[in-house]
Structure 1
Amino acid sequence: MSKTTLPLFVLALLPVGASARDGVRVLPTSEKRPNVLVIMTDDVGYGDFSCYGAKRVHTPNIDRLAANGVRFTDAHACASTSTPSRYGFLTGEYPFRRPGTDVAAGNAAMVIRPEQFTLADLFKAAGYTTAAIGKWHLGLGSRTAQQDWNGQIDLTPADLGFDYSCIMAATADRVPCVFIENGRVRNYDASAPIQVSYRSNFSGEPTGKSNPELLRLRPSHGHDMSIVNGISRIGFMKGGGKALWKDENIADSIADYALRWITATQQPEDSTHRPFFMYLCTNDVHVPRWPHERFRGQSPMGLRGDAIVQLDWTVGQIMDGLHKLGIADNTLVILTSDNGPVLDDGYADDAESLAGTHRPGGPWRGGKYSAFEAGSAVPFIVSWPAGGVRRGGESRALISLIDGVRSLAPIAGVELNDTLACDSRNFC
């Protein structure tokens, strides 16, 4: 991104030298810093939005965001799968440098270690209040398979610079199928204690493989273990009760958690009015795709197309919320995806047969899991009216999500030394 595309207003309100970690220097300025909202979508391809050429699905809210900012045509994720891509984005370090950054199981220990510097640490050092909402897929706890799902988990996003978190424990297709709020299961049901295993089933618990008659969405490969909400998953779990999510409500829940937290940061009783950084990760359009009934039939592409429509609704809800609070103009919004698209990713939802002429990877070959272009080529939209981002712009600049840490540092008003975010470069 050129400086004419996105001028940087280097902003900070803290004294010079204030720092959460060694290697971070807060720069002096009297300018008002922007809120920063990163919307990380899931398994969305370069060609899945109508502003990127999609014809068989319409995304008016995302199109509006692009019309209000800059749409990048040569942006790339850090990897072609979720965990390593998210790891690279949050740390500014290529995932190949660290063992254990491949696709994380639902009971994996936290992949990013507390001593590592993260994007949230950067904003926290600058005086921002920080939050992580939605899909996480970076592990929890200090030891694999040793999490206390019925109490306080010992390592959480709070150890990585996030003041607040309300996240999916893993992914929608992996157990446990619960949200974790600040290290504890949200809506915990003491009458149904949670047990999780990735080795063997619990006695008497049905599975997709043994009890297909209980399923409302059948697997196409794998994904035939514990059944939650009529959908079989990867891994085994027992219990959960009232804490278990309903897949059709996940998008609503994520939007609600995000808007509640953003609204709380703007309350009059909060005299500090610190800017916020939110890492908002949607579940859409990851499998199992089971959008809410009100989105069914909104595209000719079945469940995957309807999930894209639901994702567009989520973006619209968030942007409407920012406008109602009067903070949309000075909120830097980045919308992107963790990796390229996949059609059949383990469930028989007819995504391949109903795609028709739709090309989720756009003009590129490959997709999720692939080393070909569509595996990492992702949509990337930036909007920040008060920051001078030109409306309706298009940039052919080559950018990577690995560069997020150092590109956002000047906007937050901090300077990093060379020991932090070793692979990240400022592309602004």
Structure 2
Amino acid sequence: MPKILIVGGGYAGFYTALGLEKWLTAGEADVVIVDPLPYMTYQPFLPEIASGSVEDRHAVVSLRRHLYKTEVVTAKVTAINHTAKTATITPAIGEPWEMDYDQIVVTAGAVSRTFPIPGVADEAIGLKTIEEAIAIRDRVLGNFDRAANLADGPERDRLLTFTVVGGGFAGIELFGELRSFATSLLRYYPTITFDDTRFHLIEAMGRIMPEVSLKTSHWVLKNLAQRGAEVHLDTQLTSAVDGRVELSTGESFESDLIIWTAGVMANPVLRNTDLPLEERGRLRVGADLRVINDDGVVADVWGAGDVSAVPDLTGNGVGGYCVPNAQHAVRQGKLMAKNIVGVLRGDAPAEYKHENLGAVATLGLYVGVFQSGKIAITGFPAWVMHRGYHGLAIPMWERKIRVFTTWILNFLLRRDIVALEARAAPRAAFAEVASRPKV
């Protein structure tokens, strides 16, 4: 049987595997999916995980639980030699090995894209993984606990100053959610007032959220300002050394939590392949999701999701390509499964074309924005639309039930505000009291 190797278990990879399980007949092909994590992360929930509105494990989907017919390998693909049709598989423990394949699907996703700004690599944290979102939530809660014991002063101000870099959808959603989260915490900390907390968002462009209209973005700015959150437009971060945020405007302040959401780039694994890439380092892909080079289609290799430059046939994509979001990755994965099966059976693959359904974002509890064409909805109705859409969009019914149940419980009982910072060093408590041999 031919072997189909899927590199990456994110949206596109997961839905490709799910589709292949549906469309392939018994004995038609073997499917293997390789990812260093045993789960798919539903990234639109990361801001709500950081604010305690969604339980972290409910926003991930187990590959082994839901891919019944697919071989799941928990390891990294560190190189691809398509000429020889081999991939280098590198596990966390043990020696790397070569895996042969007949067809390969590259859906390795994207990683945070940063710039060589002093201090960012040492002080900042991203928002691409579930672990980062958990760490942000625990840091906010931990900082409130520490600040509550301090008198007014620089250290207290630093603990209660939170900074987000990047005014796209991810940055604005996280910024709004954290502002809402911090406000809700004040009832439990009588020594901390609303004015003690400071929120700064830094955006290099002259506007936020390019996915929505200028009018809608202005509404968001006004709403955030009314809630005590400051947005710095036309401003660049010039330094974050030791947590001291310095801006291109000359302003500076101390911040204990700096979150970077200013862009993504294709997974660096592509640099270790012989596959054709475009100028931004993404996989060159045709509208039918087959990889192409200057001579045409490259046989037996497919690409989709954030790692690929997929042409946007609607004409609405930035630079002519589909924007890197979940809406495209999910639909590309579903189509790619059908196309792979079709090619195996001698049929021509279909082209990917999807009209954007609109953009919906949360800005914290009971506040949201929705934009579709010229139609804009703001406030509580948009927040309900956001929860309804994403609650149903997360794959698998058992995940949907868990998410909606958590939202109902949070409405009745309020959000859980327990921080588990000690999980980063779980042996510390034991090691502190454990008896050791006398020297």
TM above 0.5, yes or no, is: no
Larger strand fraction of residues: 2
Larger Rg: 2
TM-score by length of 1: 0.27
Q: Greater helix percent: which structure?
A: 2
Q: Which has the higher contact order (CA 8 A, sep 6+)?
A: 1
